[in-house]
Amino acid sequence: MPVRFGRIAARMFLPKKHNPRLAVLLMIVATAFIAATTLFAKALGGDTLGPPLHPFQISHGRFVFAFIAIASAVAATRPQLTRPHWGLHFARTFFGWGGVTLMFASVAFIPLADATAIVFLNPVFGMILAIPLLGEKVGRIRWSAAAIALTGALLLLRPTPESFQIASLLALAAAMIMGVEIIFIKKLSGREAPIQVLLINNFLGVLIASVAVLAVWQMPTAAQWAVLIALGICMALAQACFVNAMARADASFVAPFSYGTLIFATLYDIAFFAQIPDWITLTGAGIILSGGLLLAWREARLRQLP
């Protein structure tokens, strides 16, 4: 089964021709898979499939089964691998693992739409951190985009004694940590082939997650094993679709469609948990989306400048 899956997935990592329409479709499919991972994490963190699993164990399953899928694709394609920068890979993976784990912890207690919207602040934190860490200059438009997005997040935190949800802080912390990950992704950009980056990222993720899970490991039920496997495969497919989308069109054109994750998270909330988004969720998510799109537009303009 892994080899057969690897052969299918391998085709997705081969060089592609420029095709913006297909790029958009692939990005939308990727967002559906990404939202599905949070859906599975919410199910695993609850008691519907058995005793709730710790977020460390959920993220461990995500990395283990995603690595098996990516490794199968590598075995099928046998791409030429170069010498990796292990320090950058480890830093990127460590913060990525931390962000994913906090994200999985938050969705066990708050709606998928709320958690997803808050985590979409990670580009904002990445922009802010790029000032001291990468020496980047930030103008008024980018600061305005950050302020807009942070306003939306503040609304989603529901900062009143009656409605404040402490689990929302977990999603906010996830966004901050993923913002740090973005710094290391920028440092890795262009150094190595995407499939090599994905392979090493998931391999190191397995090592980090395996150490973290030792203290909280419990035997999953049969249903939980199935969902853990599905979570890992969905993440591998999401990464494959994302890489393909970026390869078929300019990043500035296709990246904004990644916000489709929020739409799918909302639909999953309604379909599987009967959680209808209230006006706070819709307004806060809309504000974050506006800020994120403004930031994406400004980043695209900056890349076009000589």
Asked if residue 2 has pLDDT above 70, the reply is: no
Q: How confident is the model at residue 17 (pLDDT cuts 50, 70, 90)?
A: low
pLDDT tens, residue by residue, 117-169: 888 888 888 888 888 887 877 778 878 888 888 888 888 877 666 556 788 89
Segment 178-190 shows an average pLDDT of 85
Portion of the chain with pLDDT greater than 90, in percent: 40
Candidate from 80-89, 169-178, 203-212, 257-266 with smallest mean pLDDT: 257-266
Q: Which domain holds residue 187?
A: 2-304
pLDDT (average), residues 167-190: 88
Question: How high is the pLDDT of residue 1?
Answer: 47
Q: Kindly tell me the burial class for residue 21, based on how many C-beta atoms sit within 10 Å of its own C-beta (0-12, 13-18, 19 or more).
A: exposed
**pLDDT: is 178 or 6 the higher one?**
178
Average pLDDT over residues 193-216: 94
Range 231-260 average pLDDT: 82
Query: What is the reported pTM?
Result: 0.85
Banded model confidence at residue 244, pLDDT cuts 50, 70, 90: confident
Taking residues 12-26, what's their average pLDDT? 71
Q: What is the pLDDT of residue 288?
A: 83
Number of structural domains the chain divides into: 1
* pLDDT at residue 7 in the model: 52
